[in-house]
Amino acid sequence: MEARFQCARVRLWGKIHFMPHVHPVRLVYQASANYDAHSDAGDEPFPRVDADDGFEVMRPNNQKHGWNLWPAQVQRDLYSLGLEECWRRPESLLEMFRTADTNEKRSKEWKIMIKQKVKKREQVRWKRCIHTQTMLRTYIQFKSELCLEDSEYLCDPHGGWNDLGLSARKFLTQLRTGSNQLRINTGRWCELPVEERICLMCAKEVETEQHFLLECSYYENERMELFSSVDKMIAASSHASIVAAGGDEFIMKNLPTSEQLSIMMANNHTIIEREKLSQKVRRMIALELVSWQKKRENQLEMMEEE
């Protein structure tokens, strides 16, 4: 949301500067900017950085009267997007968009440029935030682009989901975001060191999402069966003829770990997608994972009773 406001502010600032000097809006802005330049905020130091540095939206320190002038905020916005020059020499705006012949066109190009810069700043900032949140470590492995509308991963256009489908979707989301009951997460609640958050099913390794999905011996048989079901689905598709023609055969267990993990977490995979099997495979895996989760829960209950 903050990014959207920033975008709107900086866009308007540019638009004002493409207006004639005597335009009332521009005159009001100019008066406000002059006032700001002579206030404490005008002397306040702040970093000059590029959009690639991914700074947070910078705020001016509150003035004595408790509010800030609009120009003070825009100045910080520009400085955090690598546009210091535009603030210091507004006439450089005209040079920037030399090829556009009308102010309307310049204003339009400015808008596009600002949108890209704010998006870049936000992407870098977002990536840094997410890196510091270990909860999301699995999620980020396959999530390199900022793309928040990624909720289509288990939509089912044909026929609704039953209750089992709903719990599958819920569990999958928990796996993807690290808000699940695996020990890597529950161990954090009691401040257990990471290396001691051992899987209670196999007692061998730390129970991470990857361990649960790909490595834990407790689900070995189920996993082998699931993998072979996926392989069979692909083999029954047109992919078989591609393999016969010298393409790569699709075998789940031979795929790189990152691809296996990605498929298990309902992400796109080129071959599965090409064969138009995404929905089917995702659904099958998700439902299967729910049964693993049940198996795990039952085992934990039994261990508690003992």
Which stretches of the chain bind Zn ion, using CB under 5 A? Answer: 199, 201-202, 216
CB 87 within 8 Å of CB 78: yes
Least spacing, CB of residue 205 vs Zn ion, in Å: 6
Closer CB to Zn ion, residue 112 or residue 203?
A: 203
Q: How far is the CB of 211 from Zn ion (least distance, A)?
A: 6
Q: Toward Zn ion, which CB reaches closer, 87 or 218?
A: 218
Q: What distance in Å separates the CA atoms of residue 92 and residue 82, rounded to the nearest whole number?
A: 14
Is residue 219 within 8 Å of residue 202, measured between CB atoms?
Answer: no
Q: Between residues 31 and 200, which has the closer beta carbon with respect to Zn ion?
A: 200
Q: How far is the CB of 216 from Zn ion (least distance, A)?
A: 3
Phi, psi of 24 (to 5 degrees): -55, -40
- In whole angstroms, the minimum distance from the beta carbon of 198 to Zn ion comes to 8
In angstroms, what is the minimal distance from the CB of 142 to Zn ion? 22
CB nearer to Zn ion: pick between 121 and 197 = 197
Q: Residue 201 or 230: which CB sits closer to Zn ion? A: 201
- In the complex, the smallest distance separating the C-beta of residue 139 from Zn ion, rounded to whole angstroms, is 21
- Give the separation between CA 279 and CA 300, rounded to whole angstroms: 32
Q: Closer CB to Zn ion, residue 216 or residue 263?
A: 216
H/E run at residue 52: none
Alpha-carbon distances of 203 from 135, 183, 206, 207, 259, rounded to whole Å: 22, 11, 8, 9, 26
Our CB check for Zn ion shows the closer of 15 and 223 to be: 223
Residue 202 CB, shortest distance to Zn ion, in Å, is 3
Helices 2-17, 103-132: axis angle to 10 degrees equals 160
- Buried-state track 74-93, b at ≥16 Cβ within 10 A, e below 16: bbbbbbbbbbeebbeeeeeb
CB of 184 to Zn ion, least distance (A): 11
Amino acid at 236: A
Comparing CA positions, the residue from 184, 196, 204 lying closest to residue 139 is 184
Tallying the residues shown for the chain, one arrives at 306
Compute the distance between CA of residue 50 and CA of residue 44 in angstroms, rounded to an integer: 19
Closest CA to 285 of 305, 260, 251, 256: 260
Return the number of the residue (122 or 207) whose C-beta is nearest Zn ion. 207
> How far apart are alpha carbons 251 and 234 in whole angstroms?
9
CB-based contact 222:288 (threshold 8 Å): yes
